[in-house]
Amino acid sequence: MCIAILNTKKAGRLPKSQIKNSWDNNDMGSGLLWNENNKLEVFKTYEYDEYIAKYNELRDNPNVGNIVLHFRIATSGYKGEHNLHPFLTNDKLGFVHNGVIRGLGNKQFSDTYEFNDMLKKFKHNFLSCEMSKYFISEYIGYSKLIFLDIDDKYTIINEELGKWTDGNWYSNDSYKQYNDYKYYGNTKVSNTTTTKATTKVQDDFNTWDGTKGWDAPSVIEDDYVLDEWEMYEALCDIYALDPDQDATWDQIQTYMEINEVDDIAELYDLVLNYYN
């Protein structure tokens, strides 16, 4: 799912521990967005040492104002630097995304990549239009967006779903400490796995607010293998879907089609095995 961070110039340098925790908890590639000499700049990498060095270089530069950080966990568009954040909508506006935008994304391109293609079609400055921002918020659901423009002005969509701390804004709490779970969609998923053949078992599936989700056995035998219904429920948690809704199966089938798999087990293996 990722974490998105707005590091304001006023707040200054982020603690190294926050960057390291964000990286370790969201380790599928990361990026930076900033302004320098009246130009938006983007940096993307899969290497932590490169990332922290670049961030420190930017924070040491008095000409750099706000910095937007992103650390990725993929739910579609699993591979390729083109799927790493940030994205430039045009030469005057860039953004990062935290969450899952339903109906977008496939095996090759992430939901954010496709969403950016939609934003590029706007002919007006949509961030200056309250109605446009409202429709974007409605479209993305519980996702969160941080935009930064060429004037170093930031705009956060669904700002209330994250939180401000010490002058910086965080889309979730995965910067605080290294966790034994990751966020997929808006769902916490345990990193603890056991295996039999190619089937991986997740210990715990719980939503961020703890109000819904699937709890697998707290202790899993080495030879435990999920049945298709358990895989289905696990996938529903990853994609933030309600397994009891009739429309959910249609959505799961859509994910199977865009990922070019034939059944629940293949989709489960594709999504979960990729991260473990």
Do 107 and 260 touch, CB atoms closer than 8 A?
yes
Q: What residues are paired with 154 via a beta bridge?
A: 148
H or E, element range at 264: helix 264-275
Distance CA 264, CA 177 (A): 33
Given pLDDT bands bounded at 50, 70 and 90, which one contains residue 122? Answer: very high
Phi/psi for 142 (5° steps) reads: -90, 10
Half-sphere exposure of 13 (CA within 13 A, CB side): 14
Q: Between the CA of residue 233 and those of 76, 153, 203, what are the distances in Å?
A: 18, 41, 13
Tokens representing residue 59 in the block:
């924070």
What average pLDDT does the segment 65-88 reach? Answer: 88
Given pLDDT bands bounded at 50, 70 and 90, which one contains residue 159? Answer: very high
Which of the two residues, 142 and 73, has the higher pLDDT score? 142
Distance CA 238, CA 262 (A): 19
172 contact partners, CB below 8 Å, separation of at least 6 = 1, 3, 98, 162, 183, 208
* 3-state DSSP assignment of residue 137: helix
Per-residue pLDDT at 149: 96
